Chains A and B, each alone.
Chain A
Amino acid sequence: MSNRITRRGFNGLLASGASAAILASTGRLALADERLRLIWWGNPERDKRTLAVVDLYQKANAGITVDPENYAWGDYWQKLATQAAGKNLPDVIQMDYRYIFEYARRGQLADLTPFVGKELDLADFDPNQLDSGKVDGKVYGVSMGANSMSWVYNKTVLDRIGGELPDQTKWTYDDFVAIGNDLKGKLPEGMYFVAERASQENMLQTWVRQRGKELYTDDGQLAFDVQDLEDFWAFYFMLQKTGLTPPADIMAMDTGKMEENGLIVGNTLFNFHHSNQFVAAQNLAKDEFAIVMIPNQAGGRAGQYLKPSMFLSMAANSPDPSAAAKLLNFFITDEEANDILLIERGVTGDASIRERVSEVLTDTEKKIIAYLNVVSTHVSPLPPPPPKGAGEIDRAIRPAWEAIAFGQKSVKDAAKEFYEFAKTTLARA
């Protein structure tokens, strides 16, 4: 008997619990009018600035809550792909040139063209930069600014040991190596002349472009020869043997995070960065940094190009596209928001914002502007977007190079094997 009563009581308890839960959930729905999700990759500096802009937006738009998500570059694309598979992409998405075509063509991104002139105010926007975010003639991303590749160096140390650099628009790798050999003995204990960048896709890209080639053709085939790769790796192997780069096991400690970068750790004088990363790098170090162009090969054409640093895109499945477009617009055109963002993501294409922002820039940020002004007259056209499988090839460069660096394979064999691997991967993708 008592058992029965207990059970009935238990059922009653369950029922009341369930109704309470339902009440609670509807109550919450009624309270939060609008939630928007925003996702980006970056570094501590970018996170700080972006979160400040999110606060600003929420204050200016009562009833709208922006849920921010941010990851490091490597984790970001895994997270994004998983969310895309679950049809759960955030409303506003930071996008990269490498992926925008794939995401747009697979229907994951919203066509922004209908919003232009309405929610999106792009009247002042540089048409060239706007074009960089177009896929098949439609706007799928608004560029957050242009950047380019660069050598960043520790100016404090270079000045102290009396090093001097030639005209950055004309210098060659021969000059670079000569300077390195000259300074080698004067560098502080544990510091090498330059970081090994033989495992970086963008350095290989610059290398083959200086030779008038590309990594990939428009239809997604390899557009360089195995000899180019062999020469590229042979050059860095020479640097390693002559002690201009750190030993292989020291280089392997750098997994691509800003905090592990040789400039920050203090084991290299020169290192690679994208120009928009310069602020973040400088803010992590005590010494003063400076930024110059990557040396050319003797007689080579311009290898660098102006790259849209990143885009803001909108998810195709956004429940309220108009609200998402407004948030996106806030990042591009709002004056107060850009007073916070400045040029951390890149130099914006919005003329009036660029003018406003250029008056309040720090010395560090002014160096980027000056650098881009120099570079923009020494670039060649934007390469075609990388094909499917390019990401996998990119990641395979590192182990392939390391086999050379640790003495397991000859440059020639490693280059040949890697070239075959790249071809198979493109065919398989």
Chain B
Amino acid sequence: MATTAYEATLAGRRLAASPGLGKRIAASWRRNRAGYLFLAPWLVGFFGLTLGPTIASLYLSFTDYDLLTPARWAGFENYDYALFRDQRLGHALSVTFHFVLWSVPLKLTVALALAMALDRSVRGVTIYRATFYLPSLLGASVAVAMLWRQIFGAEGLINQLLLLVFGFSGPSWVTHPDYALWTLVVLAIWQFGSPMIIFLAGLRQIPQELYEAAAMDGARPLRQFFRITLPLLAPVIFFNLVLQTIEAFKAFTQAFIVSGGTGGPVDSTMFYTLYLYLEAFANFRMGYASALAWLLLIIIGIFTGIAFLSSRYWVYYEDEGR
């Protein structure tokens, strides 16, 4: 926070001392030429593969486009249909919200709990950390989603275990409309690795003296957790919350693979992204799918905005001096 003011002063001084705009650009170009050259591969990728298609999709979202015939201008028709008439989209939204609202808090809780368990100097703790991080490396992959289908299938591992321990076997969890979404929530929670690593780093930042002082004053671990750990970790929690919420809204692979690309059974795993994909590549409504993509961007923006607004009331930065 302190650096920003300093940087602003510097920038201001630079601006005041500058000659004409043209000369300034020329000079900066000369100075930074090599830099841009090295950036070129990334810039080409950004403009060609990210920005270009993004702008194209904004245009397409106002058209009727089925891939085989040229796009036809449709005005706000796609947005109108999505917002007011598409019942299946409403269902997809509710499935997605369900997924986000359950998977994110649970995942963060598990991540924090494990981070605290691993935040100590025991022999071989680094091995444990690496092991616990593994699922995150695998989690979003197609292979694990397929494995999930097996584990939670009719004769999968879960039912075998149930049979062994309790003497009865459950339904085919992944293909039952009451449970399919929950298997995806569990899969998401299982990928707690990256928030866990960030929590670990955050925990390391908390001065040990605070705990020592609190212990001396007779605060028990639970009280220490709520009075020291949580408040001081708030910025990290906030960071993880925003990141994981965005991630959860964008979840696609798991639902696609686990449901065999259908969003079934009975649309119970029809994520927003999966619906978007099906509209685009199964029903060939590229224009409508583009509109859905932009609406998702707005939805994610709103949720991120809410998180930022609320952060004022629960996130404290040490250097803010409140």
Q: Do the beta carbons of A253 and B175 come within 8 Å of each other?
A: yes
Q: Which residues, 314 to 364 on A, are CB-close (under 8 Å) to B?
A: none
Contact A84-B176, Cβ < 8 Å, known A78-B281, A395-B262: no
**Within 8 Å CB of B17, what residues of A?**
none
- Please tell me if the beta carbons of B154 and A249 are within 8 angstroms of each other in the complex: yes
Name the interface residues of B69-98: CB closer than 8 Å to any CB of A: 69
CA distance A252 to B264 in the complex (A): 8
Knowing A253-B175, A256-B260, A406-B177, the reply to whether A81 touches B266 (Cβ < 8 A) is no
The reply to whether the CB of A16 lies closer than 8 angstroms to some CB of chain B is no
Enumerate chain B residues within 8 angstroms of A108, measured Cβ to Cβ. 68
Is A62 located at the chain interface by the 8 A CB criterion? no
Which A-chain residue is minimally distant from B261 (CB atoms)?
A: A74
A249 adjacent to B175 (CB under 8 Å): yes
Across-interface contacts of B177 in A (CB, < 8 A): 402, 406, 408
Which residues of chain A come closer than 8 Å to B286, judged between CB atoms? 85
**A257 and B146 alpha carbons, distance in the complex (Å):** 14
Beyond A252-B265, A399-B267, A403-B266, whether A102 also contacts B281 by CB under 8 A is no
**Interface 0/1 of B255-274, CB less than 8 Å to A:** 00000111111110000000
Within 8 Å by CB of B264, from A84, A250, A402, lies A402
Check A406 against B67 for contact (C-beta < 8 Å). no
CB pair A406–B262 under 8 Å, yes or no, is no
| Cα-based distance from A85 to B69 in the complex (angstroms) | 8
Distance to closest chain A CB from B157 (angstroms): 15
Contact yes or no, A82 B68, CB < 8 A? no
Tell me how far the C-beta of B295 lies from the nearest C-beta in chain A, rounded to whole angstroms: 19
Does A398 sit at the interface, judged by CB under 8 A?
yes
Contact at B260–A255, with CB atoms within 8 Å?
yes
**Interface magnitude class on chain A:** 20 to 34
Residues of chain B contacted by A106 (CB below 8 angstroms): 68-69
Chain A, interface SS category:
helix
B61 close to A (CB within 8 Å): no
For window 124-154 of B, CB contacts with A under 8 Å fall at 153-154
Chain A residues in 8 Å Cβ range of B263? 399
Q: Which of B167-222 contact A (CB under 8 A)?
A: 171-172, 174-178
For the complex, give the distance between the alpha carbons of A84 and B178 in Å. 40
Asked whether B264 lies within 8 Å of A249 as measured between CB atoms, the reply is: no
Contacts of A74 in B (CB 8 A): 261
Complex alpha-carbon distance, A179 and B263, angstroms: 35
Write the chain B residue with the least CB distance to A6.
B34
State which of A81, A252, A395 has its C-beta within 8 Å of the C-beta of B68. A81
Interface mask (B222-237 → A, CB under 8 Å = 1, otherwise 0): 0000000000000000
Q: How far is the CB of A128 from chain B (nearest CB, A)?
A: 29
- Any B CB within 8 A of the CB of A7: yes
Contacting pair B281 A81 (CB below 8 A): yes
A61-117 contacts to B, CB under 8 A, are 74, 77-78, 81-82, 84-85, 102-103, 106, 108
A391 within 8 A of B: yes
Cβ 8 A contact of A253, one of B172, B278, B283? B172
A187 within 8 A of B: no
Most A C-beta atoms less than 10 A away, residue of B174, B260, B265: B265
Interface contact tally, CB-CB below 8 A: 77
The answer to whether A392 has its CB under 8 Å from any CB of chain B is: yes
Q: Mark A244-259, 1 if CB is under 8 A from B, else 0.
A: 0001111011011100
CB–CB A103/B68 < 8 A: yes
CB distance from B130 to the nearest CB of A (A): 35
Q: A391-B283, A402-B177 are in contact. Are A84 and B68 (CB under 8 A)?
A: yes
Which residues of A are found within 8 Å of B252, using beta-carbon distances? none
Q: B residues within 8 A CB of A399?
A: 262-267
A249→B67 contact, CB < 8 A: no
Q: A78-B282, A253-B172, A391-B283 are in contact. Are A84 and B67 (CB under 8 A)?
A: yes
Does B176 contact A406, Cβ atoms closer than 8 Å? yes
In chain A, residues 231-271, which have Cβ atoms closer than 8 Å to a Cβ of chain B? 247-250, 252-253, 255-257
CB contact list, A380-420 vs B, under 8 A:
391-392, 395, 398-399, 402-403, 406, 408
Do the beta carbons of A85 and B267 come within 8 Å of each other?
no
Whether B316 is near chain A, meaning CB under 8 Å from some CB there, is no
Distance from A402 Cβ to chain B, minimum over Cβ atoms (Å): 4
Query: A82, B262: Cβ atoms under 8 Å?
Result: no
Measured CA separation A398–B261 after assembly (Å): 12
Instruction: Give the distance in Å from the alpha carbon of A7 to the alpha carbon of B281 in the complex.
Output: 48
A18 to chain B, nearest CB (A): 13
Contact string against A for B residues 285-296, beta-carbon threshold 8 Å, 1 for contact and 0 otherwise: 010000000000
Assess A249 versus B68: contact at CB under 8 Å? Given A403-B266, A408-B266.
Answer: no
> Cα distance A395–B281 when bound, in Å?
13
Q: Mark A296-317, 1 if CB is under 8 A from B, else 0.
A: 0000000000000000000000
* Interface: B102 (CB within 8 A): no
Q: Closest chain B residue to A108 by CB distance?
A: B68
Nearest Cβ on chain B to A246's Cβ, whole angstroms: 9
Alpha-carbon separation in the docked complex, A248 to B260 (Å) = 16
Query: Is B284 interfacial (CB 8 A cutoff)?
Result: yes
Q: What residues of chain B lie closer than 8 Å to A402, measured between beta carbons?
A: 177, 264-266
Q: Once bound together, how far apart are the Cα atoms of A406 and B153, in whole Å?
A: 17
The residues of A that contact B278 with a CB separation of less than 8 Å are 395
B279 to chain A, nearest CB (A): 9
B68 and A85 form a contact (CB under 8 A) = yes
Let me know if A252 and B267 touch, CB within 8 A.
Answer: no
* Chain B residues with CB below 8 A from A82, complex form: 67, 281
Assess the A81–B265 pair: CB atoms within 8 A. Answer: no
Q: Which of A247, A249, A250, A392 contacts B282 (CB 8 A)?
A: A392
Residues of B near A102 (CB, < 8 A) are 68
Q: Contact at A253–B153, with CB atoms within 8 Å?
A: yes
Q: Which of B84-120 contact A (CB under 8 A)?
A: none
**Chain B residue contacts of A257, Cβ below 8 A:** 260
Least distance between A209 CB and chain B CB atoms (Å): 26
Q: Chain A's nearest CB lies how many Å from the CB of B16? A: 29
What are 12 of the A-B contact pairs (CB < 8 Å)? A78-B282, A84-B68, A248-B176, A249-B154, A253-B154, A257-B260, A391-B282, A392-B282, A399-B262, A399-B266, A402-B264, A406-B176
The chain B residues found within 8 Å of chain A, CB to CB, are 34, 66-69, 153-154, 171-172, 174-178, 260-267, 278, 281-284, 286
A78-B281, A255-B260 are known contacts; what are 9 more A-B pairs with Cβ within 8 Å? A7-B34, A81-B281, A82-B67, A85-B68, A85-B286, A103-B68, A247-B171, A398-B264, A402-B177
Q: Please give the residue numbers on chain A whose beta carbons come within 8 Å of chain B beta carbons, in ascending order.
A: 7, 10, 74, 77-78, 81-82, 84-85, 102-103, 106, 108, 247-250, 252-253, 255-257, 391-392, 395, 398-399, 402-403, 406, 408
